[in-house]
Amino acid sequence: MSTNGESRIGAARERAATAKMFLAGGAVGIFGVVLALARTSHHASAQSSTRTGSSSSTPAVVQQESGDLGGGSIGPVQPGFAGPSAGTATS
Amino acid sequence: MTGVRTFRAMGCEIAVAGADERALAAIRRLFEEREATFSRFRPDSELRRVNASPQALVSVSAELARALRVALDAFRSSGGLVSPTVGAAVEAAGYDRDFSQLAPDDPRPVLPLPSVDPAQILVGERILRRPPGLVLDLNGVVKAIAVDDATRFLPGPGYVSAGGDLAARGTPVAVTLPDGDRVALESGAVATSGTATRSWPRAGALRHHLIDPRTGLPAASPWTTVTAIGRTCVAADVAAKAGFLHGHDGPEWLDEQGVAARFVSADGVVVQNGCWNRSLERRAA
């Protein structure tokens, strides 16, 4: 076989290898998307919540999902109340 | 504790007590970032980009994905009434620009726009799948999330309030309610939702932003304001909105969830649910 013939075969093999890598990469990419959704997917019918992440501007947020409602506590404002005051307006 | 400092963001006044200069700057930056991400009206916001995308699968920031997860949790915990899929209905009701820029009156009728079932939404760390054309509205939770996040910047006792949605840290706060009564918030957060502030005339009637996803229209509720207490500002705000949207059943429904809540009707009648009354009595004893 001539040198030119060998180089053409070599180039063809290289293109085939590149195409295989590309296809594999694409498959991995699609698989990655599916995996990302499957791992962390969260929709309204879910009974348990995925608790994740924080933003770059937020220090150490543990979780923010509303979860069950309730919690917090109130009492009457006693005479001599020394704490700060604020208002709650409609939002 | 340092005094109260205020600034404007997200279309309302933000009040911060107990922050030093560094904390105040961080809190201000947090609200500005959230507004830039979640605004329904800023053309360059991420939410606008997502809502405009014709693709079913879109890449989103971690912050938007997180807010959407909170909103989907809110849908579940509110009995399916606080929904992130009512964006198109809010716009159809006339709230399609910044509140300060709404027209004095618009004669066009408000047509019902049933919302998409949130079960059709899948959200990952940074990816979202939803029906193209769905107009997400995360305003139901974004402001409260920002309040909860902002309290973590406080170096000591204090509170953060955004338009009256307030979370306290390390100190009780005397909170004045919309009708002038006062209550001491000893822990957690308080939020008030209703039609007293954000309502506008449209086709001869007052409309508001609290959409009933069952009808696709502004909810017909007997309440003008609903104030609720929660572990976090998100929990309080979702509870207040749910109480409003559940209408006459709101007080009992929130009692079943263990939420202290106070309702004011259009004619000024005040209804405090059992959890609210018990909480006050227990503390007074």
Q: What is the pLDDT of residue B196?
A: 75
Instruction: Say which of B122, B197, B229 has its CB closest to residue A90.
Output: B197
Quote the CA–CA distance of B218 and B110 in Å, as a whole number: 9
Quote the CA–CA distance of B258 and B249 in Å, as a whole number: 14
| Yes or no, beta carbons of B77 and A67 under 8 Å apart | yes
Asked if B226 and B247 touch (Cβ cutoff 8 Å), the reply is no
Token digits for B177?
């309610």
| Yes or no, beta carbons of A75 and B172 under 8 Å apart | yes
| Whether residue A10 has pLDDT greater than 70 | no
Q: Could you tell me whether strands B189-194 and B12-17 are parallel, antiparallel, or unpaired per DSSP bridges?
A: unpaired
How many Cβ atoms from other residues are within 10 Å of residue B201's Cβ? 15
Q: Could you tell me how far CA B266 lies from the centroid of its own chain?
A: 20
| Yes or no, beta carbons of B184 and A36 under 8 Å apart | no
Contact list in B for residue A62 (CB cut-off 8 A) is: none
pTM: 0.81
Asked if A72 and B283 touch (Cβ cutoff 8 Å), the reply is no
Token digits for B159?
């509170």
With CA atoms as reference, the chain B residue closest to A87 would be B176
Instruction: Say which of B15, B153, B229 has its CB closest to residue A72.
Output: B229
Q: What is the pLDDT of residue B106?
A: 77
More confident residue, B92 or A28: B92
Each of the 285 residues of chain B gets a pLDDT tens digit; together they read 778 999 999 989 999 999 999 999 999 999 999 999 999 889 999 999 999 999 999 999 999 999 999 999 999 999 999 999 999 888 887 787 777 777 777 787 777 877 889 999 999 999 999 999 899 999 889 999 999 999 999 999 999 999 879 999 999 999 999 888 999 999 999 999 998 777 777 877 778 789 999 998 898 999 999 999 999 999 999 999 999 999 999 999 999 999 999 999 989 999 999 999 999 988 767
pLDDT, tens only, A43-56: 554 333 333 333 43
Q: Could you tell me whether strands B173-176 and A85-87 are parallel, antiparallel, or unpaired per DSSP bridges?
A: parallel
